[in-house]
Chains A and B, each alone.
Chain A
Amino acid sequence: MTNLTRRNFIKIGAAGTATVILAGCDSDERWVKIETYVRSPEEEVAGNPKWFATTCRQCGAGCGVIARVINGRAVKLEGNPEHPVNRGALCARGQAGLQVLYNPDRVQTAARQDGRATRNYEPIPWNTGINQLAEALNSAGSRVAVWVGTTTPGHLVDLFTRFTDAVGAPAPVRYDLNAGFGGYAPLSNASEGVLGQAGLPTYGIGDADFILSFGAEFLGSWISAAGYGREYGEFRSKRIGKARGYLVQLEPRMSNTAASADRWIPVHPGTEVLVAQAILRLIADGSAGSQERRDLAGQFAGDVDLEEIAEQTDISVETLQTLATTFANASRPLAIPGTPVTGRDNATEAVNAINALNVVAGNLGGSGGISLTPAAPINALAAPTYSNYQDAADLIAAMTNGEIDVLLVHGANPAFELPASAGFQAALENVGLVVSFASIVDETALYADLLLPDRVYLEGWGYDVATPGFQGLPIVSGQQPVVTPLYDNVAAADVLLTAAKSVSGAASALPWTDEVAFIKDIVTQLPEAAYPAEGDDVKWAYFLQHGGWWPAEAPESEAPEVSLGGPVELGPAMYEGDPAEYPYFLHLYMSPILGDGSGASQPWLQGTPDPMTTIAWQTWVEINPRTAEELDLDDGDIVRVSSPNGTIEAPIYRYPAIRPDTLAIPIGQGHEALSRYAKDRGANPVQLVSGTPGNDGNIAWSTVRVKLEKQGENKPLAVFESTVDQGEDVHIPF
């Protein structure tokens, strides 16, 4: 029987300034046993599964997962039925997490790259890598930057933040596609106006009976797929006191959310706020709904010309009237702004315009409305904050100016997630040391000098404050290893804790011997949970067993203070690109299957058909069949799509449910690295947007115009649906 430690016991030599010892193992939970099938420990019954509760890290939502483990192998991930975010459900990406663990292209030890982007990686002993980092951090002082993503576990973000605070560096930038494209920053900022305080809001979809969604793809990759998918099931159910919910989705291209809606309205791109303003006016002037709602609407309704709005939005006055009446009459109506709103100029104001509808609905802070996740119960656990793109752009500028000596990247892949014009890659040239903690070499790791691959979430420890939380509960989701780490990798938290010991100023801020000691320290401070637990050891054990901490009941919340003033008078979005040269609106969306693109490394996800087109493995350009006919384009014809910012090539898919003036492209493919399954496959349409921060400090994800050129080649589409048109004679080649 071999005992392997979950934490490598590494002695680091006295080279250079640092002599640091990575903490050894002192308690039972840090040991696991590897067994062969033939010689099992007594309590192990061959073929009998064990179950471990942990947290999904395929997106930032923080769903609870139960892993089924047989003879040391993780063979299935399931939703944790107790966990308040997902209550037993798990999205497609969550299901595929096993392929993060067992991906054949994982980085198996620390490595140095001999020249950036050369792909010449030389494995090095971990102590060499950690020592190099420690020395660099020590001499960098405050000239250190940390870039993390929504999938970086919360405990690691907390440790990084303690480190940057201690050395006087700016707080970590937490920005990736989930946060950027999902509009976390404008959504959070706009909460101040309606909920009295900034923070990523939860939308109480399950308890609403009428939803007006302005392009929020909450059944796709938007913010919390499993959580909102679960809420949607409740929204569709009838309960005492609640009718079956009715969903109206306004967006230029029908997503799978719009396909599930009761009504899809192909609104003119960029005019969502006008729709909201028209509805407010109509409620104020109409007779539907309560007097209170009409009065509130009067406060927010500007001086609008309905006929003109009808023309601008392509929505008739009658339809606007129907929407207004239904909204005013519904008992719990809800308005949700999606990427078309958060990805435009003046995004926060645009969200305010939509939120005015929620003020009218009177749904702030309660069930069926928008609310903030209650603060985590102890000070050490602040609600996660997400950076705006401006913060990322400022960091890139600092890098360009040579102000950053060491850049640490974890859980984000800016080289893929940002357009080239953001200048990230170019800025790296002036950074002395770039360190990537990625478990598979991604586009950013291609530019790293040092690879210190973190353990993947199924082999690592952690916690995460789930944001958005659900049912009004603060949730600290727990993460623990479900298998013995596959490779010789050291947890990023341990790398940091070890290196910090020799960084002046940092050692006292990070006194924990190792990652588990830190997490345990936090967890044992938590107050009473939904399950009874007495004493530190029991608390810790139950935290792991239940998959986290949450109270039995939602804490009392006070009615939020609304400070939205009068009407939001915002015009249609400003589009980049001259309409004469760039005739089409570009509608980007995150693939509901591949998410932010990290899913492209997993064959289960690559092979899963896109719900709307049934295409797998590829990137495609969606075009209205009428427009395609005018341009003499057929399915699979390769086109070049260009914007003022960049160009990509991909095959055409004739899409019946998109405006004739709009082209839609999924984000997710187009990787230069990220495993054999992702590399050199499809195109990355992020290149089409501008890397210059907009007036709200965000990326204008949804306000770019493009043009289309036929390339004269055809690529067969990997579609699962039948390719035979109705009535067509086919020759069956069998």
Chain B
Amino acid sequence: MAETNEHGHKWTMIVDLDKCNGCNACVVACHAENNVPIASEEEVIRGRGNHWIRIERYWEGEYPDVQARFIPVFCQQCGSAPCEPVCPTYASYHSTEQNLNVQVYNRCVGTRYCGNNCPYKVRFFNWWTPEWDSPLNEQLNPDVTVRSAGVMEKCTFCIQRIRRAENDATADGRELRDGDVQPACAQACPSRALVFGDLYDPESQVSERLPAERQFKLLENLGTEPAVYYLKGEDTHVGE
């Protein structure tokens, strides 16, 4: 389903719910890649846990006919993003070149309007300047800003990896190839439930896999035009 455009990219993630098993490898990978602080026990109790990608777990039915479902949720990189127009400082804005919803940390003044307006609840506010007990600070990824108190943050589709891959391709004098960019979550995922790529590239894995019979988008009816495609689980329930 490649879309065509002369310039830029349309970065897309496919989340195959038939493969996601809630292992949380993606969650830890994202913390490591993006310097996302860990909320303490007390903060989690206060509802201030923060993960740019999280595994939502839904119960359906009652014992013994109960089922659990996992849905990895992260910024949907909405094409028509409710978080953008409410930002008074243009900290939350749309990159037309990458088709991404971008957060400019040093413009953010912490009104938290964007967090309020995001229907997916994937934006997190830094209530304090995050601290890492030394020498844990050595683990920080120098390619990613460490956000300070008062700043909103969220999944970026690992924009630093996109940039690096673009620079490397330019240095090699070639076009970006499918697979050059791997966000940390998709790279770690053992079952390959997460597939990432450029929908403007007709040869990319995401273009080849979409449209899929099982596809849907989260809260599609809100008109947010998410860039994330979910594929429904395929349970067939033999003999029930």
Contact = CB atoms under 8 A, between A and B. Distances in A.
A367 to B, nearest CB: 18
A246 B142 contact: no
A609 B55 contact: yes
Contact of B134 (A89, A104, A266, A716): A104
Contacts, number: 215
B139 interface: yes
B238 A263 contact: yes
B184 interface: yes
B237 interface: yes
Interface residues of A, number: 84
A612 interface: yes
A198 B29 CA distance: 37
Contact of B23 (A611, A657, A681, A716): A611
Interface stretch (A76-84, A161-169, A284-292, A693-701): A76-84
Contacts of A77: 32
Contacts of B31: 604, 607-608
A86 B187 contact: no
B65 to A, nearest CB: 10
B37 to A, nearest CB: 9
A433 B237 CA distance: 59
A721 interface: yes
Identify which of B68, B135, B136, B190 gathers the most chain A CB atoms within 10 Å of its CB. Answer: B190
A206 to B, nearest CB: 10
A322 B239 contact: yes
B39 A607 contact: yes
Interface stretch (A117-125, A222-230, A496-504): A222-230
Contacts of A608: 24, 27-28, 31, 51
A611 B24 CA distance: 7
B113 interface: no
B135 A486 contact: yes
B178 interface: no
Nearest to B56: A721
B23 A75 contact: no
Contacts of A244: 18, 234
A421 interface: no
Contacts of B19: 232-233, 236
Contact of B29 (A95, A611, A658, A660): A95
A603 B141 CA distance: 17
B142 A262 contact: no
Interface in A298-330: 318-319, 322, 325-326
A277 to B, nearest CB: 20
Contacts of A236: 16, 18-19, 191, 234
Given A232-B19, A611-B57, A656-B59, A718 B41 contact: yes
A98 interface: yes
Contact of A229 (B41, B70, B187, B191): B191
Contact of A260 (B22, B39, B41, B190): B22
Given A92-B25, A257-B21, 4 more contacts: A244-B234, A604-B38, A656-B66, A720-B49
For the complex of A and B, list the 6 residue pairs with the smallest distance between their C-beta atoms, beginning with the closest. Answer: A229-B190, A233-B191, A611-B22, A322-B239, A607-B38, A89-B190
